[in-house]
Amino acid sequence: MDKIVALCKRRGFIFQSSEIYGGINGFWDYGPAGAELKRNIKDAWWNDVVRSRTDVVGIDGAIICHPRVWEASGHTTAFSDPMVDCKKCKGRWRADQLPDTKCPEGGPHDYTEARQFNLMFESHAGPIKDEDNKVYLRPETAQIIFAQFNNVLSVARQKIPFGIAQIGKAFRNEINPRNFTFRSREFEQMELEFFIQPGTDAEWHQTWVAERLKWYSTIGLPAAKLSCYTYKKEELAHYASACVDVMFEFPFGVQELEGIAARGNFDLSQHQKFSGKSLEYFDDETKAKYIPHVVEPSAGVDRIALALICSAYTEEEIAPGDVRIVMKFAPRIAPVKVAVFPLLRNKPPLVEKAREVFKLLQPHFNTEWDDRGNVGKRYRYQDEQGTPWCVTVDFDTLGEKGPELLDTVTLRDRDTMKQERVKIADLVPLITAKLRG
């Protein structure tokens, strides 16, 4: 992980939050490359889960909502982890994640009794800081969907089965944030609540497990590093009939990327009870009235970004002692799709032509201009950022070696390092075709 963390800083994927003040544990900032990577993950999910389907609609809810939402969902009473203090190292640890023999700091331990620690961040809405004005930063996006079920149903022209999706920030005051961004205190979720007829839970759960697993290969996570963990009956929440976690083999172990749970009608029933508003659905074909059941695929954007970074990181010895570091992202997910270079930055005709090429590509792809250092160094920089293609404008482009190469450029492939000579006019269709795979 050390090499990956160093690359993330060096190439602008992930920075420690407020680093100039010594950082703050459990919070991270995404740099230029990381922001693009995260955006591409979210766009891919939104496109595939919402826009490409006819049975899912999206919402974008507030981070802070009525505190009764969290009473109904059970978060105020049950969303906690057991915590202990170690009297020897003075550390505070999650009791269920402690090694058996020593303290996580490495020495002998002397733990206090475990006590429950609620993970929700609290704040106050308005100027008076009392219990009546207490609010929570949402610890998941899901409950906002349940609380808006009636409103969405009334506008969405959907019938059950249908889903409501949301991407957004969630906050958990984790006792021990760890493994880089894997367990953070602020993170983003992509959640779908797929509402179904009671009794169809098992088949819809299987459908969504298969769908979600398939999706990970479309963003370039290798199947060999993905697996599923199926919860045993005794591990399930009392209201759930099934749960499968999509797992990824990180350098620090096999860990969860997404959970897909069949949650029955627990959430809507609770909100109906706490709000006093009916959340029943009336099926006008069968005339049946029921509280819909739900299947919930819930994924973490930051964990997927970290999985993509870990799986993309490659070291290749291209000559004795010369190691190339290349981030082999799937082009769909790569932060920058194409970089444009003038061969030399101090030759105005080259720069002018390269600017023309840049302007041609920019409306179609996320394109980067790069004229620092020599071309070899620019390739290495772009390799570390995971840019799939680099375009170089050279003297041949200007027709200096004859008219047959006029208005052609080199297109260099990140993975093979091969360069082909292509016409500027063919660049957009060619790169578009490559992007589509």
Q: Which residues of the chain form contacts with ligand GAP (CB under 6 A)?
A: 140, 142, 172, 174, 183-184, 187, 189, 191, 256-259, 296, 298-300, 302-303
Q: Please, what is the minimum distance in Å from the beta carbon of residue 304 to ligand GAP? A: 7
User: Is the peptide bond between 67 and the residue preceding it cis, with omega within 30 degrees of 0?
Assistant: no
| Cβ nearer to ligand GAP, comparing 30 with 358 | 30
For the record, the structure tokens of 65 come out as 């909502």
Residue 424 identity: I
Give Cβ neighbours of residue 178 (< 8 Å, ≥ 6 apart). Answer: none
Residue whose CB is less far from ligand GAP, 174 or 384:
174
> Smallest distance from the beta carbon of 141 to ligand GAP, in angstroms?
7
Given the complex with ligand GAP, which of 303 and 353 has the nearer CB atom? 303
Shortest distance in whole angstroms from residue 212 CB to ligand GAP? 11
Q: Whole-number minimum distance, CB 229 to ligand GAP, in Å? A: 11
Judged by beta carbon, residue 111 or residue 229, the one nearer ligand GAP is: 229
User: Are the CB atoms for 283 and 160 separated by under 8 Å?
Assistant: yes
φ and ψ at residue 245, rounded to 5 degrees = -100, 135
Phi, psi angle pair for 85, to nearest 5°: -105, 145
CA nearest to 37, candidates 400, 314, 405, 309: 309
Say if CB 167 and CB 42 are below 8 A apart: yes
Q: Which two tokens stand for residue 29?
A: 């900032």
Contact 386, 329 (CB under 8 A): yes
Q: Which residues contact 216 (CB under 8 A, 6 or more apart)?
A: 226, 246, 257
Task: State the nearest-atom distance from the C-beta of 3 to ligand GAP, in Å.
Answer: 22
Q: How far from the centroid of its chain's Cα atoms is residue 193's Cα?
A: 18
Residue nearest ligand GAP, Cβ-based: 300
Closer Cβ to ligand GAP, 187 or 365, answer by number: 187
Q: How far is the CB of 172 from ligand GAP (least distance, A)?
A: 5
Nearest approach, Cβ of 94 to ligand GAP (angstroms)? 11
Identify which of residues 256 and 407 has a Cβ nearer to ligand GAP in the complex: 256
Shortest distance (Å) from residue 18 CB to ligand GAP? 18
Of the two residues 81 and 396, which places its CB atom closer to ligand GAP in the complex?
81
Residue among 209, 212, 266 at smallest CA distance from 239? 266
Nearer to ligand GAP, 33 or 144 (CB): 144
Q: Are 10 and 384 in contact (CB under 8 A)?
A: yes
Contact 401, 395 (CB under 8 A): yes
